[in-house]
């Protein structure tokens, strides 16, 4: 389910904050908890003509790794 506020935020990120232009590449790195916003932002990138590249991290795996450090 997509929320209007997420779509508005994503469009502002792509258009106002990043000023994405057609053909530009945009890296989206997020955890799974941010998946709805990442989807909305990828859609906004595509509407602007940009190419979204996505990378998702698992927060639990990161937590386990960081807890194991001395």
pLDDT tens digit at each of 70 positions of the chain: 556 999 999 999 999 999 999 999 999 999 888 999 999 999 999 999 999 999 999 988 989 999 999 8
Element (H, E) at 16: none
What pTM did the predictor assign?
0.83
In angstroms, what CA-CA distances link 56 with 19, 27, 31, 34, 46?
A: 23, 11, 5, 9, 18
pLDDT given at position 32: 87
pLDDT of residue 45: 98
**What pLDDT does 2 receive?**
56
Write the CA distances from 51 to 20, 23, 29, 56, integer angstroms.
Answer: 10, 6, 14, 16
């Amino acid at each position: 389910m997509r929320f209007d506020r997420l779509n508005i935020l994503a469009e502002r990120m792509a258009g106002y904050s990043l000023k994405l232009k057609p053909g530009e590449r945009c890296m989206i790195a997020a955890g799974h908890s941010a998946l709805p916003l990442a989807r909305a932002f990828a859609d906004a990138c595509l509407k602007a003509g940009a190419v979204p590249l996505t990378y998702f991290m698992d927060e639990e795996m990161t937590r386990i790794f960081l807890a194991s450090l001395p």
